[in-house]
A = this chain, B = another copy of it.
Amino acid sequence: MNSVKEYKSASYKTGKIRKDNEIVIREAAEQEFAEFGFKGASIMSIAKRANVPRPNIHYYFKNKQELYNAVLMDILALWNKAFTEFTAEDEPAEAIGNYIRLKLMYSRCYPTASKIFANEILQGAPHLNTYLNNDLRVLLAHKTAIIQGWIDAGKMDAIQPYYLIFFIWGATQHYADFGIQIKSALGKEELSEEDFEEITANLIQIITKGCGLVK
């Protein structure tokens, strides 16, 4: 099992073709899952999006569940990365501003990932129980402790740290998940980089000022 020969043979198996095809299928699956959630998505439709015969998908991923898991794990990795950003040593105004900027950048660059996550939560998070009750909870407890530290040090107003985080999440993710509504309301086909810069500036201004971090 662990001989050099076996290892080599394994590396042949996971060759370029497999890698490429997996990516194409994953991307098609992301679109489908983002729109319809796990239950509403169909392998047939994913196959059409990916432009491959349906059985190919089963060749690369055992079933719908496994394909979904693969996609979801990628997203969680991305999500965790967006979260490990500010520390107790940072100045709160800058740290919170950067966090908002980062979250909005994610909404702009990875709206599909955000939508899949939203769908998963709407469906009652059946595949994310472990994540929500462990990883996320720990990360969140850490962040809120930092914010509480800033409050105790008199650096900002006494806001419930959890609610501050939820405010940032809600306001920033809205631009990915409700993108269509926003575009429609603004009468735009797409939001440009400049639009996002303006949104970022507005949101940072409201929140930092609202927390007593700037005048």
Contact = CB atoms under 8 A, between A and B. Distances in A.
A97 interface: no
B121 A178 contact: yes
A198 B180 CA distance: 31
- Sorting the interface of chain A by its residue count into under 10, 10 to 19, 20 to 34 or 35 or more gives 35 or more
A127 to B, nearest CB: 12
Nearest to A45: B39
A102 interface: no
Contact of A118 (B39, B122, B163, B185): B122
A97 B205 CA distance: 18
B181 A121 contact: yes
Interface stretch (A14-22, A84-92, A166-174): A166-174
15 contacts: A37-B122, A118-B177, A118-B178, A119-B119, A121-B177, A124-B180, A136-B185, A163-B199, A166-B175, A166-B182, A166-B185, A166-B199, A170-B172, A170-B178, A173-B174
